[in-house]
Amino acid sequence: MAAGKEIRGKIKSVENTRKITKAMEMVAASKMRKAQERMRAARPYSDKIRNIAAHLSEANPEYTHPFMESNDAKTSGFIVVTTDKGLCGGLNTNVLRLLTARLKEMQSSGEDAQAVAIGNKGLGFLNRIGVKVVAHATQLGDKPHLDKLIGPVKVLLDAYSEGKVKAVYLCYTRFINTMKQESVVEQLLPLTTDRMQADKNQHGWDYIYEPDAQTVIDDLLVRYVEALVFQAVAENMASEQSARMVAMKSATDNAGSVIGELKLIYNKTRQAAITKELSEIVAGAAAV
Tell me: pLDDT of 213 over 80.
no
Q: Regarding predicted confidence, which is higher, 215 or 54? A: 215
> Measuring CA to CA, which residue among 73, 81, 79 is closest to residue 112?
73
Q: Model confidence at 196, in pLDDT bands (50, 70, 90)?
A: very low
Q: Regarding predicted confidence, which is higher, 205 or 78? A: 78
> Measuring CA to CA, which residue among 149, 155, 128 is closest to residue 236?
149
Supply the pLDDT for residue 70: 82
Position 133, amino acid: V
Average pLDDT, the chain: 86
Q: Model confidence at 195, in pLDDT bands (50, 70, 90)?
A: very low
Tell me: pLDDT of 128 over 90.
yes
pLDDT mean over 263-278: 85
Supply the pLDDT for residue 286: 74
The reported pTM is 0.83
- Percent of the chain, pLDDT > 70? 91
* Rounded Cα–Cα distance for residues 247 and 29 (Å): 11
* Strand pairing category for 132-137 and 167-177: unpaired
Q: Model confidence at 142, in pLDDT bands (50, 70, 90)?
A: confident
Tell me: pLDDT of 114 over 90.
yes
Q: Regarding predicted confidence, which is higher, 14 or 282? A: 14
* Rounded Cα–Cα distance for residues 45 and 104 (Å): 35
257 backbone dihedrals φ, ψ, rounded to 5°:
-65, -40
pLDDT mean over 44-73: 76
